Amino acid sequence: MIQVENVSFTYAGAARPSLSDISLHVAPGQFVLLCGPTGCGKSTLLRMLKPELTPAGERSGRVLFNGNEIGANDRLPKIGFVMQNPEQQVVTDRVWHELAFGLENLGVPSDVIRRRCAEIAAYFDLEKSFEKDTNALSGGEKQQLVVAATMIMGCKVLLLDEPTSQLDPIAANRFFLWLEQLRREFGITIIMAEHHLEEIFGEADRVVYMERGRIRAQGTPAQVAWEMLTVRDAFAAALPTVTRLFFDAKTRKTPFVSLREAKGAPDYAQMVDEAKKTLTSASGRDAFVSRENGKRAEDPAVTLSDVVFAYDDRSPSILNNLSFSIPAGACTAIVGGNGSGKTTLLKVIAGLATLKKRDGKVKFFGEKQADRQRISFLMQDVTTLFTEETVYEEIVAGVKEKVEQGGEGFIEAFLKEQGFEALTAHLSQHPYDLSGGEQQMLGLTKLLLRDPQILLLDEPTKGMDAVAKESLAKLITEKTKSGVTVVLVTHDLDFAALCADYAAMLFRGEILSMERADRFFADNVFYTTHKNRALNA
């Protein structure tokens, strides 16, 4: 269906090629997963397959679609392309118009559009939301709408560029399941670049692992997993938990790629025992290691009592008589479903002006007034912090004196200390040109330079690959050791288990339970880490 032959590509003005000598054959109906660390060329490769979106630059080699070479000026509506941010991809303000948009572009007559819209709305279960405002949809629904609006054009190939990076893990899973169903029923070819591999790795027909613009390995999921695990690649951290947990190079040549597969193995019980033993002996933070050094400080950093908050008089309250305290010098993870009030809770602690009208008390270290300069808040959309032209200026903004005192090379040293060396190479770029994970790092750098006492993080792992996540977890652990209080709101339970000392469950605006993180995740059946799921026989 799609053939890529010896394609190399250099962006206009760039010194190094972004793709070198890529060859790839995709058969009809295949699901190909492109993975690799941030900046490995996944997105660029996808854009080579969609001529409308191919960036300016120098390309060599050939790309063929159904045996015909794709020219630079071709228009191929039969190849669909879905990007990261659903918000920015929705063009019109109503669901029905979004569906019709592509067909209108192709000049399809009204009667045909009417029929196709009806058909696709019925299939994708959009009948109820057909008349809705697109703004009324959730992120996951918007992304599904974008795919439906692409599929309506009768596309045979669907290219997806990290389609779930802006979704929470639950919405992301739902999206993957839905995509899988689509593939099974229509036999469309899917090529997806993704770094959340936990759920989909085993579903792929073929995995292509890229690094620095080259294909490092390709084959079945098990083959690629074997490759990555045996060479102890840093990116192996992105592999599904079962794959890593039960991997033993000596006894097993084909790693497990899904939980179902592992549970079906005859020696599953034995493997679990083995894995538990290794985990207990291993040092480091893990949901299964009981951490006796869990320190409970005398004075909690933040105490909330009977906090009630609603955005206005007519809407229901988001926080309901919420009372709990956040231990100082520790990382507290707050988990809970969408709309449970997690972000609102952080905003209340940060004391944002829009949330001034609340009932109840918030105390900081026993005091009513907090030094707000020392409470730092990393919001979900980190780009809201960026006002400057370059990454360097962005870092310096607001902390000029500190940087001047630090002298030459202060920023580079600071970045290194935080484990954000990746940013050093991008200091002269525009903040918007960074990848999602790098933007998060930049936002965090800005906050950390202000020397916070309390650090509020809202979904900090959004858009980060496995390697970046691990270094962030390490950073959080170090910060708490040096006395910083971290409040972490996340859907990413595996990440929370990596770095949180305490975990609290927020449900309908109330904190239901707050426990030590290890106990919390070991006790929960559904709301738990992938590791616990794999080990609970």
Partner 1 sequence: MRVYLHSRTWFIYFIMVIAILMSIRHPVLILIGLESGLIWWKILGRKLRAGHVFAALFILGALAVANPLTSSNGATILFYLNGRAFTAEALAYGLLFGAVLVVTLLWCVILSELMTTDRWLNVCGRRFRKTGLVLTMVFRFFPLFTKQWQRIREGQEALEGGSPVGWKETFRMTKRELLCMLTWSLEHGFVTADAMLARGYGAAKRSFFNRENYRSASVGVAILLLAAFSTVITIAVRGGMEAEIYPYVKIHMDAAIDILGFAAFFLLCHIPMISYKVLREERRMRS
Comparing CB distances to partner 1, the nearer of 49 and 225 is: 49
CB of 232 to partner 1, least distance (A): 37
Among 14, 27, 91, 231, binds partner 1 (CB under 8 A): 91
* Nearer Cβ to partner 1 (96/247): 96
Q: Considering beta carbons, is residue 16 or 356 the nearer one to partner 1? A: 356
Query: Nearer to partner 1 by C-beta: 88 or 290?
Result: 88
Nearer to partner 1, 202 or 452 (CB): 452
Check if the beta carbon of residue 3 is closer than 8 Å to that of residue 70: no
Count residues near partner 1 (CB under 8 A).
Answer: 70
| Residue of 8, 64, 101, 211 that binds partner 1 (CB under 8 A) | 101
Buried b (16+ CB within 10 A) or exposed e, 125-140: ebeebeebebeebebb
CA dist., res. 63 & res. 22, Å (int): 10
Are 330 and 300 within 8 A, CB to CB?
A: no
Name the one range near partner 1 by CB under 8 A: 16-24, 111-119, 168-176, 300-308: 111-119
- Site track 443-472 with partner 1 (rule: CB under 8 A), x = hit: ---xx--x----------------------
E strand residue ranges, 156-247: 157-161, 189-193, 206-211, 214-219
**Nearest 5°: phi and psi at 18?**
-90, -25
Three-state secondary-structure class, residue 323: strand
Stretch that binds partner 1, among 18-26, 113-121, 495-503, 509-517 (CB under 8 A): 113-121
**Residues contacting residue 15 through CB under 8 Å, at least 6 positions apart:** none
CB of 5 to partner 1, least distance (A): 23
Which segment (92-100, 226-234, 263-271, 295-303) binds partner 1 by CB under 8 A?
92-100
* DSSP 8-state secondary structure symbol assigned to residue 380: S
Site string for partner 1, 146-165 (x = CB under 8 A): x--xx--x------------
| Choices 85-93, 171-179, 249-257, 486-494 (CB under 8 A): range interacting with partner 1 | 85-93
Give the chain's largest Cα–Cα span.
Answer: 72
Alpha helices in 336-435 (DSSP H): 342-350, 391-396, 400-406, 410-418
For residues 354 to 373, the per-residue mask of contacts with partner 1, x marking binding by CB under 8 A and - elsewhere, is x----------------xxx
Q: Is position 130 an interface residue for partner 1 (rule: CB under 8 A)? A: yes
Q: Is 381 in the site for partner 1 (CB under 8 A)?
A: yes
* Helix and strand numbers, DSSP H then E, in the chain: 19, 19
By CB under 8 A, tell whether 106 contacts partner 1: yes
CB of 376 to partner 1, least distance (A): 7
**Residue type, position 531, single letter:** K
User: Phi/psi of residue 481, each to 5°?
Assistant: -60, -35
Q: Are 530 and 240 in contact (CB under 8 A)?
A: yes
Residue 109 found at the interface with partner 1 (CB under 8 A): yes
Which residues 41-60 are close enough to bind partner 1 by CB under 8 A?
A: 50, 52-53
Strands in 29-181 per DSSP E? 31-35, 57-65, 68-69, 79-82, 157-161
- How many other CB atoms are there within 10 angstroms of residue 322's CB atom? 23
256 interacts with partner 1 by CB under 8 A: no
Min dist. Cβ of residue 354 to partner 1 (A): 7
Beta bridge pairs of residue 326: 302
Q: Which residue is associated with the tokens 């191919």?
A: 54
Sole binder of partner 1 in the list 92, 320, 390, 429 (CB under 8 A):
92
Residue 385 and residue 225: Cα distance in Å, rounded?
Answer: 38
The two structure tokens encoding residue 341? 């009030």
Q: Is 113 in the site for partner 1 (CB under 8 A)?
A: yes
Distance CA 111, CA 117 (A): 10
- Contacts with partner 1 by CB under 8 A lie at 50, 52-53, 75, 77, 80-83, 85, 87-94, 96-97, 100-110, 113-114, 117, 130-136, 146, 149-150, 153, 347, 350-354, 371-377, 379, 381, 383-387, 398, 432, 446-447, 450
